[in-house]
A and B are shown apart, each in its own frame.
Chain A
Amino acid sequence: MKEAREGNQGWFLPYFRQFFWQFAVAALLGTLAVACAGALLYTSGYLISRSALKPENVLMVYVPIVLVRAFGFSKAVIQYLERLVGHDAALRVLSRMRVRLYQAIEPQAQLLRTRFRTGDLLGVLADDIEQLQNVYLRFVLPAVSAVLLYGAGIVALGRMDGMFALLMALYCGFLLFVAPAVVLWSSIAKSRRFKQERQAAYRELTDAVFGMSDWILSGRTQQFLQLFTRRQKSAAQIENSIRRGEWRVQWMSQCAIGGAIVLLVIWAGGLAAANQIPATLIAAIGLVAFPLMDAFARISDAVVRMPEYKESLGRLREIEGGRPASVEAQKEKVADQAGGSLKLDHVHFRYPQASGWSVQDVSFEVAQGGKIALLGRSGAGKSTILNLIRGAIQPEAGQVTVNGQPVQSEEDSACLFSVLNQQPYLFDTTVANNIRLGRPDASDEEVRAVTAQVGLDQLIESLPDGYQTRMQETGLRFSGGERQRIALARILLQNKPIVLLDEPTVGLDPLTERDLMTTIFRVLHEKTLIWVTHHLSGVEQMDEVIFMEQGVISMRGTHEQLYQDNPRYRNLYTLDCPLASVMEI
């Protein structure tokens, strides 16, 4: 809960505060690493200048010799440590961000599908968070190091010569602050335009690849290719102008570095002439500038990628903004586990922005162990009814009751319902773990028992690792029918009184469909079943068949009644069983 409240504070600051010390250590180490590189050249310059004065004894330059070696040695090691500390901190942040994103999305899982349609968005979000950790590594840490060095350098100069320190402060300030700002300012609009072009290219190409047969049949392939090439050209032009800008700034920065060195050398020469510093420091001061200035100039390179992060951040904010106001934890309601009688009493429901009813005056009743089939076109209100039953949405009028008690929220009624939907997700873990999701404390025997019930035991035992076999990428190892059976095994483990079947057989061929439904009816025969289906084969086994149309019940009855009395139903039924009429005769 504490993490959930971070929501209003953005995606950066809370983490920065949380891991302040790790980041501080990393930044300090980064500063030290550059300082060591500088110190190596500084002491080297000093060493050869001192040696050139031909001291009588090698011992006179003993200290600089040791220092040169020490700095040469330590720069690499310190940098190595810095990278480890920095990455560790960034990964810690990543892990917190993931938990936070998960908690933001979790309550809106159902809504997301309608708001964004594809599961791809979720992949994009996961990537976004990984992008954000790069901000720390590529931008924040180097920038902090550079600023620290800048400060230290100016203070050191200031102690020798105030005026010159001011001059250098301004001069290096250009490299450190002005150049990155210019880069950012000039690239922001262009990157946005590039991004747009890029998205358009993605859209068009995806369109073309998925609709390839249509392009080929239309005979307009060449036309598409030309069009696409033109679009790519214009994207390339924008990208080029961004790059040219980058190169220009790099060139200017490098020349500015040269200028800084010249200034430093002249200044040191002047001081030495005035005997304010020993002449041995001229070379040292001239050489130290190379690595330091380089660290400053690198900030402009890092800044180029900032607009991308902005986009990721925007998406994350949008998702967090969409989460419903957190519901205060309600007291756990003790529902009567034993029964599964369900009643819908004149239920009405309307989605917030919609004008018409999604479900209007729907009433039906199922006794414990009763079975109902629900049919209708897409958008007729079948899924809305399932959501109403589960308590995911509340009716505007009327009531849904289970065992005589109203269903008030999804959490309260979770112990009543199992759901088998169109595409149950199989997680990238072992088969046993996937089944055990139904009830985490189930024993191996129980898992085996439900697997045998759904008729998968032989298949799974024949796999090389048996129950420990991993699902490959989103369960591609299993066919559609087998995936449904795994999900069915989960439901058996859950052992809830009411099972909602949401078109579990879409996309299966008739034989698989029939086998699966036979299994489902066999293993769930004691449960109360609400079966949303698109086909009529199997409805003979239902107590009632209900057809929905635009939110209202348009046709209902038992299969036998409807088949005898209703010609429309007869027509539909022959689609599924073409021989039905023939056999009748």
Chain B
Amino acid sequence: MDKELFRLQGIRPVMLLLAGLSLLQSAAIIGQALLLAKSIAILFEGQAVQMAYQPLALFLVTIAARHTIVWLQKKVAGRFAEASSESLQGRVLSRLFERGPRFAASEGSGKLVTLVLEGVDRVRTYLELSVPRTLDMVFVTLPLLAFVYMQDVISGLILTVTMPVLIGFFIVLGLAARKQADKQWRSYRMLSHHFTDSLRGLATLRFLGRSKDHGETVGRVSDQYRSATMRTLRVAFLSSLALDFFSMLSVAFVAVGLGLRLIEGNFGFETALVILILAPEYFLPVRMLGSDYHASLDGKEALGTIRTIIDSAATDEHKEETQATNSQTSLTGGWDGTITLSHIRVVGEDGRQLLGEISEELGSNMRRVGIVGASGAGKSTLLGVLGGFSDPEAGVIQVDGQPITGDAKQEWQRQIAYIPQHPYLFNQSLADNIRFYEPEATQEQVEQVIRDVGLAELVDSLPNGCEEIIGEGGRTLSGGQAQRVALGRALLGNRPVILLDEPTAHLDIETEWELKQTMLSVLGDRRVFLATHRLHWMRDMDWIWVIDQGRLVEAGTYEQLVAQKSVFYRLLTAGAKGEKG
């Protein structure tokens, strides 16, 4: 049994209860067999039909009792599975939020959503099926076997010998199927993926004028997929064939053995019948376990993945706690002052250094800081550290001498607005999207902000005004409009610090120009950190950081850096190179 299971809260009493129910079930099964055999024996011996009524009625009662027990088992296991999966889901979600957006992006946001919803479902199915069935394997199978031994040793021996053979074949053939699947995994994956791939690339195929002919390819590849699948299935089905084959053959052998010994005469008809009825029941649990084998493998895997997320996050939390105790005093007021970065170092998942030893001091007069560099230089990573989304491996950021950790970090984040290249629009109304940081803001405030960020014209054109639903599943906004919504969010929230990550590079140049005018007019004397490779922004910055391969290679005002004719100047002139003359 899976060791992970025992780490689930409250599993021991549940297993005890389920084991008890399994035992009761085995008793009911034996009773059911005895009673049916007895009534058939009565009729067989030619007694009046009425004589059989009583055992038959009792037989019905035991059948009802048996399935009531099964029902109870499902209920107990179901309730436990539900509670456990619910708590797992809650924990994995809150850990996810603790680790922040960088972690989510690196793991793949879509994958995480699937894990939290479907992965948890798989775990639930796994718990619901595998726990009671594994217990049945022990607490139903063994008592039945013991009972058969008490009645007839030879039948008991046949059943005993079959079980390991059957399980052995099941496992060996299962492994063979897996090996076969692994062997052709690559071509198999390609074949099974081909159809989705074709649909996704349809626009490209059409542009190339190849989409019509490709229909035939779809059919051909699908047929190849079928033959590949059938090759695997031929082996894969063998393992369930083994389960079926050996259990059925074993029942047949028991029956023939019983028949022969009945002829010899030292054996009762009724006993023989009891054993014959019990033989298929003896194999039932193992066959059930076999048929859910794949579902439980999936569940086991999902449980493992969820565990790694929860556990790895736990160490982070630990680290954070120790830091939090170091900075008991929380910051109050004034986020206007000096921001100091000392020896900041960030290392990526693969061990590569993303940011190295950045130490800088920003006086309170440096309101707008531009961060430039080639893509991959570390601009976004630096913004992430400033925003507290990712903790640096070493170094500390201080605001007015207070390190941004623990409680102070939360307080700091309350001062920040973060506007990425593609701001996320929630699937809510436009007004609620703007209200996101300040759910209590009044309608007037929202409308004021909408005018400030230049969305008034858009709102007027919408059928429901600012109550129009936007985001995925709602009205799509253009890139420039999404930026304005995010800007409105920051303004309404009255956030004194704004982090902008490449806000305009993807926009068409006219939209970029207009958005820039709006931004410059509304940012006022807010503290702005703007990471971009659109260098035209730098004229409007008080201070510029030039990052190259994770290092801060230049810092200064626009005029200083242009005069220096060094890295920044080279970037500027590289951009103008295409120009004539």
- Contact digits for A231-266, partner B, Cβ 8 Å, 1 yes 0 no: 011001000100100010011001101110110011
CB of A509, distance to nearest CB on chain B (Å): 4
**Nearest 8 interchain pairs by C-beta:** A72-B252, A95-B222, A269-B43, A258-B63, A425-B201, A76-B244, A44-B255, A51-B262
Return the contact of A540 from the options B44, B66, B195, B579 (Cβ within 8 A). B579
The reply to whether A576 and B509 contact each other, CB–CB distance below 8 Å, is yes
Known A225-B94, A286-B40, A574-B536; contact A123-B113, beta-carbon cutoff 8 A: no
The reply to whether B113 and A428 contact each other, CB–CB distance below 8 Å, is no
The reply to whether A424 and B204 contact each other, CB–CB distance below 8 Å, is yes
- Interface size of A by CB at 8 A reads 156
The interface-forming segment of B137-145, B272-280, B314-322, B442-450 is B272-280
The answer, yes or no, to whether A303 is at the interface (CB within 8 Å) is no
Closest to B51 in A: A269
The answer, yes or no, to whether B508 is at the interface (CB within 8 Å) is yes
Known A95-B222, A212-B104, A583-B576; contact A262-B60, beta-carbon cutoff 8 A: yes
The answer, yes or no, to whether B288 is at the interface (CB within 8 Å) is no
- Contact digits for B417-445, partner A, Cβ 8 Å, 1 yes 0 no: 11010001011000000001101000000
**Assuming A110-B203, A290-B280, what are 15 further A-B pairs, CB within 8 angstroms?**
A40-B248, A47-B259, A51-B258, A73-B248, A98-B219, A110-B206, A211-B426, A216-B413, A254-B67, A375-B508, A376-B510, A377-B508, A425-B200, A537-B575, A576-B509
Closest to B238 in A: A80
The answer, yes or no, to whether B394 is at the interface (CB within 8 Å) is no
CB of A359, distance to nearest CB on chain B (Å): 17
The interface-forming segment of A86-94, A332-340, A523-531 is A86-94
Return the contact of A251 from the options B68, B489, B512, B534 (Cβ within 8 A). B68
The answer, yes or no, to whether A463 is at the interface (CB within 8 Å) is no
Q: Which of A113, A247, A251, A579 has the most CB of B within 10 A?
A: A579
Closest to B111 in A: A209
Known A52-B262, A58-B263; contact A437-B210, beta-carbon cutoff 8 A: yes
The reply to whether A205 and B258 contact each other, CB–CB distance below 8 Å, is no
Return the contact of B199 from the options A37, A102, A255, A287 (Cβ within 8 A). A102
B:202-253 near A, CB below 8 Å: 202-212, 214-215, 218-219, 222-223, 225-226, 229-230, 233-234, 237-238, 240-241, 244-245, 248-253
- A376 proximity list for chain B (CB < 8 A): 508, 510
Closest to B255 in A: A44
The reply to whether A580 and B206 contact each other, CB–CB distance below 8 Å, is no
Known A69-B252, A95-B225, A203-B473; contact A236-B580, beta-carbon cutoff 8 A: no
Return the contact of A262 from the options B59, B68, B214, B241 (Cβ within 8 A). B59
Known A214-B436, A378-B508; contact A106-B39, beta-carbon cutoff 8 A: no
| Assembly CA distance A494 to B276 (angstroms) | 74
Known A40-B248, A47-B255, A110-B203; contact A377-B511, beta-carbon cutoff 8 A: yes
- Contact digits for A558-585, partner B, Cβ 8 Å, 1 yes 0 no: 0000000000000110111111100100
Known A48-B255, A579-B573; contact A572-B389, beta-carbon cutoff 8 A: no
The reply to whether A65 and B256 contact each other, CB–CB distance below 8 Å, is yes
The interface-forming segment of A8-16, A22-30, A174-182, A510-518 is A510-518
The reply to whether B248 and A221 contact each other, CB–CB distance below 8 Å, is no
A:351-382 near B, CB below 8 Å: 375-379
| Assembly CA distance A287 to B280 (angstroms) | 11
Please, could you name 8 A-B residue pairs with CB atoms under 8 Å apart, sorted by A? A41-B280, A43-B255, A48-B273, A254-B63, A376-B510, A518-B578, A534-B506, A580-B576
The reply to whether B230 and A117 contact each other, CB–CB distance below 8 Å, is no
Closest to B57 in A: A262
The answer, yes or no, to whether B547 is at the interface (CB within 8 Å) is no
Known A254-B63, A269-B49; contact A203-B78, beta-carbon cutoff 8 A: no
Known A95-B223, A428-B193; contact A540-B580, beta-carbon cutoff 8 A: yes
Closest to B89 in A: A232
CB of B97, distance to nearest CB on chain A (Å): 5
The reply to whether A427 and B201 contact each other, CB–CB distance below 8 Å, is yes
Known A37-B248, A73-B245, A83-B237; contact A106-B215, beta-carbon cutoff 8 A: yes
| Assembly CA distance A517 to B579 (angstroms) | 13
| Assembly CA distance A258 to B29 (angstroms) | 12
- B507 proximity list for chain A (CB < 8 A): 534
The reply to whether A109 and B206 contact each other, CB–CB distance below 8 Å, is yes
The reply to whether B211 and A109 contact each other, CB–CB distance below 8 Å, is yes
Known A103-B215, A203-B472, A216-B413; contact A98-B195, beta-carbon cutoff 8 A: yes
The answer, yes or no, to whether B197 is at the interface (CB within 8 Å) is yes
Closest to A201 in B: B117
CB of A476, distance to nearest CB on chain B (Å): 11
- A156 proximity list for chain B (CB < 8 A): none
| Assembly CA distance A217 to B411 (angstroms) | 10
The answer, yes or no, to whether B408 is at the interface (CB within 8 Å) is no
The reply to whether A251 and B200 contact each other, CB–CB distance below 8 Å, is no
CB of B399, distance to nearest CB on chain A (Å): 16
- B96 proximity list for chain A (CB < 8 A): 209, 212
- B250 proximity list for chain A (CB < 8 A): 72
The reply to whether B249 and A282 contact each other, CB–CB distance below 8 Å, is no
| Assembly CA distance A67 to B509 (angstroms) | 85
The answer, yes or no, to whether B410 is at the interface (CB within 8 Å) is yes
The reply to whether B272 and A52 contact each other, CB–CB distance below 8 Å, is yes
Closest to B481 in A: A378
CB of B388, distance to nearest CB on chain A (Å): 8
The reply to whether A506 and B506 contact each other, CB–CB distance below 8 Å, is yes
The reply to whether B43 and A106 contact each other, CB–CB distance below 8 Å, is no
Return the contact of B230 from the options A61, A64, A91, A279 (Cβ within 8 A). A91
CB of A437, distance to nearest CB on chain B (Å): 6
The reply to whether A75 and B244 contact each other, CB–CB distance below 8 Å, is yes
The answer, yes or no, to whether A507 is at the interface (CB within 8 Å) is yes
CB of A278, distance to nearest CB on chain B (Å): 10
The reply to whether A213 and B248 contact each other, CB–CB distance below 8 Å, is no
The answer, yes or no, to whether A273 is at the interface (CB within 8 Å) is yes
The reply to whether B510 and A105 contact each other, CB–CB distance below 8 Å, is no
CB of A392, distance to nearest CB on chain B (Å): 9
Return the contact of A258 from the options B64, B86, B418 (Cβ within 8 A). B64
| Assembly CA distance A415 to B208 (angstroms) | 10
Return the contact of B245 from the options A77, A110, A250, A506 (Cβ within 8 A). A77
| Assembly CA distance A584 to B499 (angstroms) | 33
Known A123-B200, A207-B472, A290-B280; contact A494-B208, beta-carbon cutoff 8 A: yes
B:45-76 near A, CB below 8 Å: 46, 48-49, 52-53, 56, 59-60, 63-64, 66-68, 70-71, 74-75
- A317 proximity list for chain B (CB < 8 A): none
Return the contact of A514 from the options B424, B478, B578 (Cβ within 8 A). B578
The reply to whether A84 and B437 contact each other, CB–CB distance below 8 Å, is no
Q: Which of B49, B109, B410 has the most CB of A within 10 A?
A: B49
- A377 proximity list for chain B (CB < 8 A): 478, 480, 508, 510-511
The answer, yes or no, to whether B577 is at the interface (CB within 8 Å) is yes
Closest to A390 in B: B207
The reply to whether B252 and A44 contact each other, CB–CB distance below 8 Å, is yes
CB of B234, distance to nearest CB on chain A (Å): 7
Closest to A79 in B: B244
The answer, yes or no, to whether A188 is at the interface (CB within 8 Å) is no
| Assembly CA distance A103 to B217 (angstroms) | 12
The answer, yes or no, to whether A504 is at the interface (CB within 8 Å) is no
- A126 proximity list for chain B (CB < 8 A): 195-196, 199
CB of B475, distance to nearest CB on chain A (Å): 11
The answer, yes or no, to whether B16 is at the interface (CB within 8 Å) is no
- B251 proximity list for chain A (CB < 8 A): 40-41, 44, 72
Return the contact of B49 from the options A72, A255, A266, A514 (Cβ within 8 A). A266
The answer, yes or no, to whether B34 is at the interface (CB within 8 Å) is no
Closest to A270 in B: B49
The answer, yes or no, to whether B406 is at the interface (CB within 8 Å) is no
| Assembly CA distance A68 to B277 (angstroms) | 15
B:389-425 near A, CB below 8 Å: 389, 410, 413-414, 416-418, 420, 424
- A288 proximity list for chain B (CB < 8 A): none
Return the contact of B64 from the options A51, A255, A375, A470 (Cβ within 8 A). A255
The answer, yes or no, to whether A302 is at the interface (CB within 8 Å) is no
